Structure 1
Amino acid sequence: MEVKLSYKQTDVGAIPNDWDVKRLGDLGTVVRGGSPRPAGDPRYFNGGFIPWLTVGSLTNIPTSQVFITDTATKLTEEGAKHSRTLQQGTLVIVNSGAKTLGVSKVLSITCCANDGIAALVNQSGGEKTFLCYFLNSQIKRLREVIAAGNDQLNLNTGRIALIAVPFPEENEQRAIAEALTDVDALLGGLDQLIIKKRHVKQAAMQQLLTGQTRLPGFHGEWEVTTLGDVGEFLKGSGIKKDEVTADGLPCVRYGEIYTYHDDHIKTFASFITPETAKKSQRLEKGDLLFAGSGETAEEIGKCVAFLWDEEAYAGGDIVIFRPSDQSSEYLGYLMNHSTIATQKARLGQGDAIVHISARNLARLEVHLPTLTEQTAIAEVLMEMDNELAALEQRREKTIALKQAMTRELLTGRTRLV
């Protein structure tokens, strides 16, 4: 590898000549948490004596939050005697699990930690937040290169102690940590705003889709009918997994209704060739697509509305509903509302795999306002969706900014002091 003149090649890659490299074990003592046995024993667990930090409670903390301020449960005083107490300000790292190993945080509380968590105690050097950001930037390498074990990845204390970290002067470590913390604060604020907007939308859906709240200018009773009385049903067909291509004509496969789409189709995940399209069901603008199979009764028949003028197709195990004189935008929201989901769960058939047919979907009881009111309600909810989409796009851009800053600052390519 070619290294710039002002840089040197080290165990952590190319870093500025005036930076050092240290091992975590040079900065303190790496210890492992302790779990009282047997697990769940009421003598030890669900007490009120001291916070109890588990791998689950640590990794449930948003990635934008470096500091641990609380835990889900606490130990009893007797449980604390059979665990390890870690002091406020301690750097901790998850030492096991394919999807959790390497996640690092800094304690803002004194707590006990279970044996899936390691800690750097008696730390004599290094800015803890800086070290935390560096370790989190190395998660992929920790899991793929450093961790031992095949089925269950594991970092013992010896391996953690040998982890090499870049080590600028501590005033520069603090400056780097502060810059990244500022970006995390922005991310945390966006996360909270997105959560708030989602709650507002859910409340609006509950009020508007049930008629509990009417928009200005609308009154009168809603029509009570069945879905089968306001449109016709068709069935998707074809589109095997090996027929999906990277580009071509857009299509929807039933599994994507659960994993990729929400209420309305905004983008496509799959495409097919014109040849495959000949044996598939073409969609029309305004069609509703129901997933005909699912793993549970609660999720069966999730629905998305196709609102595009573009040519697109539906694969097998999709039930298509083509409404007449109704707002597809409105129905896209209504068909996933709890009042409809409860009916679909009751009408689904099967145990291991649940199915729902067009015949049973036609039996769904729906309360429908006039087309004008449907359109007005849909416009309100779609505006909320647009606001959420803009916030989520802003969040993605902020994440990309943080990733770029992390690369620049933790390698010394950009210097703050």
Structure 2
Amino acid sequence: MELKNGYQKTEIGVIPEEWKVIPLNLLTSTVASGQSKHSKPYGTFPIHGSTGIIGYTEWPEYQGDAILVARVGANAGKLNVVCGEYGVTDNTIIVRVNSGISLPFIWRSLEAKKLNSLVFGSGQPLITGSQLKALLFALPSSNEQQAITAALSDTDALLEGISKLITKKRDIKQATMQQLLTGKSRLPGFSGDLIERKLGDIAIIKDGTHQTPKYVSSGVPFFSVEHVTSGNFVNTKFISEAEHRFLTRSFKIEKGDILMTRIGSIGVCKLVDWDFDASFYVSLALLKIKQSCSPAYIAHYSKSTAFINEVELNSLPSAIPKKINLGAISNIKVKLPTTLAEQTAIAQVLSDMDNEIDALEKRLEKTRMLKQGMMQELLTGRIRLV
């Protein structure tokens, strides 16, 4: 492919012709493991390890701006930027850049390298200073380094803003649940005390097959605990149509039902709000809510502290893994308004909040993906800011 005018082909790809390819060891004055030994749970100066701040000290061994790279363990390759005075343990590598080199630019370049892909060792994942020193970087002028890092910092600020908004919306929803699901606050037009009912009074409760089915490469989805806890009903195992018909000869999952985990992770509920054919394992319970109650309300109520406490209270205390039997599920108490109209209205308010949070989470993920693409374009000079 013909090179674009003003660009050069290098060992790390095509970059602007005035940019240089330089290994990290020529851009830095230090690439070495920390040597801090002692830490306390309190103190003036932080001590950094592979998981972040792990303690404090009154006698910091290091000072000044630096990039920290987790060297060993599950976080190997994770980056952090520090300044001031601090300690660093030997499971973390300190990277100090030379005068005239932008530390934020090197940090961004290291971030783009996806250092966790360089980690080796199955027992204790590891990345070494020698690996880091050998990494090659495309280096623009100082002005362009600063422009690139400023653009990426603006994107990070946007990501942080969205994350904070999601946290705020979740807090608001939690507070709203506490008010509406306990009757402390009522929606306009509704009044009266909430009533207490057992799940067995408002739902028909069944469990799935007790026998492991014969799986096939494609066919009818087969659900178990992990599908409810993850909310992912796409990546499933499959059973044959014939076995599905046999397993569902007495009852089947229908839109408006609730799937509830009852072995391992217990009490997690998912409202079936879409049409599909599927079978499920004994680790799940199927709640068929009676017409006098709103399935959506019960699904939202299942996330309340009161419901979670009821699940724990009715579970088998010594079972490993955790387990709650069908009879015990029937004894779980729930509070609900006396009218279906108010139950439906509350469920709608909480669902609208969930939809708003979901939209923000999708926006956050999209912005993260845009940032990754932006980093690739800026750090290779495909897009120029100077």
Normalising by the residue count of structure 2, what TM-score does the alignment of the two structures yield?
0.89
- Residue 86 in 1 paired to residue 25 in 2? no
Aligned to 2:177: 205
Aligned to 1:60: none
Aligned to 1:123: 98
Measure how far apart 1:399 and its partner are: 1.1
Measure how far apart 1:245 and its partner are: 5.2
Measure how far apart 1:205 and its partner are: 0.9
Opposite residue 56 of structure 2, the aligned amino acid is K
Measure how far apart 1:160 and its partner are: 2.2
Equivalent of residue 350 in structure 2, options 381, 388, 397: 381
Measure how far apart 1:361 and its partner are: 0.4
Aligned to 1:364: 332
Opposite residue 294 of structure 2, the aligned amino acid is S
Aligned-residue Cα RMSD (Å) equals: 2.5
Opposite residue 148 of structure 2, the aligned amino acid is I
1:161 and 1:308 mapped to 2: Cα distance? 53
1:377 and 1:278 mapped to 2: Cα distance? 36
Aligned to 1:46: 41
Aligned to 1:399: 368
Q: How is 1:17-416 mapped onto 2 (pairs within 5 angstroms)?
A: 17-27=17-27, 28-37=29-38, 44-57=39-52, 71=53, 73-77=55-59, 80=60, 84-87=61-64, 89-97=65-73, 99-121=74-96, 123-139=98-114, 142-145=115-118, 147=119, 149-237=121-209, 243=215, 249-260=220-231, 268-270=234-236, 272=238, 273-281=240-248, 282-294=252-264, 299-324=265-290, 325-349=292-316, 350-369=318-337, 370-416=339-385
1:403 and 1:393 mapped to 2: Cα distance? 15
Secondary structure at 1:413's aligned position in 2? coil
Q: Which moved more, 1:19-28 or 1:373-382?
A: 19-28
CA contact (8 A) 1:12 1:164 kept: yes
1:96 and 1:196 mapped to 2: Cα distance? 34
CA contact (8 A) 1:238 1:279 kept: no
2:14 and 2:329 mapped to 1: Cα distance? 61
Cα deviations by residue, 1:202-254 (Å, 9 ceiling, x for unpaired): 111111111121112211122222111112112223795873757x5555322
**Pair 244,405 (structure 1): closer, same or farther in 2 beyond 3 Å:** farther
**Pair 138,240 (structure 1): closer, same or farther in 2 beyond 3 Å:** farther
Structure 1 residue runs of 5 or longer lacking an equivalent are: 38-43, 58-70, 262-266
Measure how far apart 1:381 and its partner are: 0.2
- Kindly tell me the number of residue pairs found equivalent between the two proteins: 377
Secondary structure at 1:355's aligned position in 2? coil
Aligned to 1:41: none
1:53 and 1:16 mapped to 2: Cα distance? 37
Measure how far apart 1:148 and its partner are: 5.2
Secondary structure at 2:41's aligned position in 1? strand
Measure how far apart 1:196 and its partner are: 0.5
Measure how far apart 1:195 and its partner are: 0.6
Measure how far apart 1:278 and its partner are: 2.1
Structure 2 residue runs of 5 or longer lacking an equivalent are: none
Opposite residue 35 of structure 1, the aligned amino acid is S
1:388 and 1:165 mapped to 2: Cα distance? 39
Measure how far apart 1:284 and its partner are: 1.5
Q: Percent identity?
A: 32
Cα deviations by residue, 1:166-209 (Å, 9 ceiling, x for unpaired): 11111111111111111111111000000110111111111111
Secondary structure at 2:42's aligned position in 1? strand
Measure how far apart 1:387 and its partner are: 0.6
Secondary structure at 1:278's aligned position in 2? helix
Normalising by the residue count of structure 1, what TM-score does the alignment of the two structures yield?
0.83
1:242 and 1:161 mapped to 2: Cα distance? 52
Cα deviations by residue, 1:39-81 (Å, 9 ceiling, x for unpaired): xxxxx41232212222212xxxxxxxxxxxxx5742233xx3x
1:112 and 1:163 mapped to 2: Cα distance? 26
- Residue 4 in 1 paired to residue 3 in 2? yes
Aligned to 1:66: none
